[in-house]
Amino acid sequence: MNFTKQEIIDMLNARGADHEALLERALATKLEYLDHFVHLRGLIEYSSVCRKNCLYCGLRSGNSKAIRYTMTDEEVMDCARQAVELRYGSIALQCGERNDKAFTDKIAQLVRDIKKLSDGKLGITLSCGEQSEEVYRQWFEAGAHRYLLRIESSNEELYYKIHPHDDTHAFATRLNCIDTLLKIGYQTGTGTMIGLPFQTVSDMADDLLFFQSKGVAMVGMGPFIPHPDTPLWQYRNDIPSDEERLQMTLRMIAILRLMMPEINMVSASANQTLNPLGRSMAVKAGANVLMPNLSPSPYRKDYIIYPDKQCIEETASFCAAHLELQMRAIKHSILYDEWGDSKAFLKAHPTFR
């Protein structure tokens, strides 16, 4: 569905009964196009090493308190094995950004090894930051078929208020990377944080129009959560309250579900940080993908993008059982053993797979 920017702004400003009506409409739209199914991506937080210095993230290179680790190949394979055993269907390999050849070759090798280990059964999403076209192609040919790279904000001015203004954090490069991923044929996902300092409702409306104009296959949007060891912490009292950021996130998801009914939309784990039921709330507002954590416990506490991350201690199988119950409680079902590709993407690429 197409909305004008003003219509989107009006929906973002909805409160009370209007807010509830918007969420109900989005849920009805999702059920009509995608049914009540939820897809899983087992999350592997491969490495906390990052060359970037984003002003909001606990893993920024300037944060000397962050503990840096990189999983061994065997640990990654153990995670993939667990994903197969838990019948997740897909995994997402995420890490801080590096672009040295040792790293980019390693990712290609891990993708090939995961494919081999699962007999080609596990779908693979990568989320390893900005890379050259050559590297994106190398990883695609190795077997990754989905890629997540959030734009963080589609407003260039705001982008530079939340990133250092230098060559390593260029807005144009970020845009180019998203275009390159789409061109190569990845199911490409992008997204933003919601409730950032300096962010306006107009910015958020533009973000939604940006996703639609790019025709992306997947979107992940989650509330911004201030981290004490980052520069944006100083604005923690200038942003909307936890509850408001969560409710705004739900409206963003709901509106986008109306605009792009067949895309995959993830319920970000940051929702769970702001409210114990946050993950389910986002699914009820229109999200259809969950990313249960598969990383080994000792590493989880060191992959701290934002504070109060949930599921630090739980084992992967406990998370899986918990999710199953949470989804049943809201009349949704998890689809096991399936890649769970974006329906929007499959329609646009009928020869895929």
Binding site for ligand SF4 (CB under 6 A): 50, 52, 54, 57, 59-60, 96-97, 129, 305
97 binds, among ligand 5AD, ligand SF4, none (CB under 5 to 8 A by kind): ligand SF4
* DSSP letter assigned to residue 68: P
Q: How far is the CB of 196 from ligand SF4 (least distance, A)?
A: 13
Applying CB under 6 A, the span of 33-41, 223-231, 248-256, 287-295 interacting with ligand 5AD comes to: 223-231
Q: Is 20 exposed, middle or buried (0-12, 13-18, 19+ CB in 10 A)?
A: exposed
For the CB of residue 4, give the shortest distance to ligand 5AD in the complex, in Å: 27
Told to check if 306 binds ligand 5AD by CB under 6 A, we report: yes
- Count of chain residues binding ligand 5AD (CB under 6 A): 12
Phi, psi values for residue 289, rounded to 5°: -135, 140
Instruction: Find residue 188's DSSP bridge partners.
Output: 147
Query: Taking CB within 5 to 8 Å according to partner kind, which of ligand SF4, ligand 5AD, none is near residue 207?
Result: none
What tokens appear for 252 in the block?
Answer: 């963003």
Figure out which of the listed residues 224, 299, 339, 345 binds ligand 5AD, where binding follows CB under 6 A: 224
Q: How far apart are CA 60 and CA 57, in angstroms?
A: 6
User: Alpha carbon of 153 to those of 167, 209, 314: distances in Å?
Assistant: 17, 12, 32
Q: What angle do CA 285, 151, 162 make, to 5 degrees?
A: 105
305 binds ligand 5AD (CB under 6 A): yes
Q: Which of 87, 82, 150, 24 is nearest to 340 (CA)?
A: 87
281 binds, among ligand SF4, ligand 5AD, none (CB under 5 to 8 A by kind): none
Partner that binds at residue 227, options ligand SF4, ligand 5AD, none, CB closer than 5 to 8 Å by kind: ligand 5AD
For residue 60, the minimal CB distance to ligand SF4 (Å) is 4
Q: Is 55 in the site for ligand 5AD (CB under 6 A)?
A: no
Cβ atoms within 10 Å of 191's Cβ, excluding its own: 23
Q: Mask of contacts with ligand 5AD, 163-202, x by CB under 6 A?
A: ------------------------------x---------
Instruction: Compute the distance between CA of residue 137 and CA of residue 141 in angstroms, rounded to an integer.
Output: 6
Of 250, 255, 333, residue with least CA distance to 284: 250
**Which partner from the list ligand SF4, ligand 5AD, none does 222 bind, CB cut-off 5 to 8 Å by kind?**
ligand 5AD
What is residue 176's three-state secondary structure? helix
Among 225, 263, 304, 320, binds ligand 5AD (CB under 6 A): 225
**CA–CA gap between residue 340 and residue 351 (Å, rounded):** 16
CA distances from 341 to 124, 145, 186 (A): 11, 10, 11
* Maximum alpha-carbon separation in the chain: 54
Neighbours of 236 (CB within 10 A): 13
- Decide if residue 270 touches ligand 5AD (CB under 6 A): yes
Considering the complex, state which of residue 287 and residue 327 has its C-beta at the smaller distance from ligand 5AD. Answer: 287
Position among 42, 96, 197, 222 found at the interface with ligand 5AD (CB under 6 A): 222
245 touches, from ligand SF4, ligand 5AD, none (C-beta below 5 to 8 Å by class) = none
Query: CB of 300 within 8 A of CB of 43?
Result: no
256 binds ligand 5AD, rule: CB under 6 A: no
57 near ligand 5AD (CB under 6 A):
yes
Binding part of the chain for ligand 5AD, among 30-38, 116-124, 218-226, 321-329 by CB under 6 A, reads: 218-226
Structural contact between residues 297 and 313, judged by C-beta atoms closer than 8 angstroms:
yes
Enumerate binding residues for ligand 5AD (CB under 6 A). Answer: 56-57, 150, 152, 193, 222, 224-225, 227, 270, 305-306
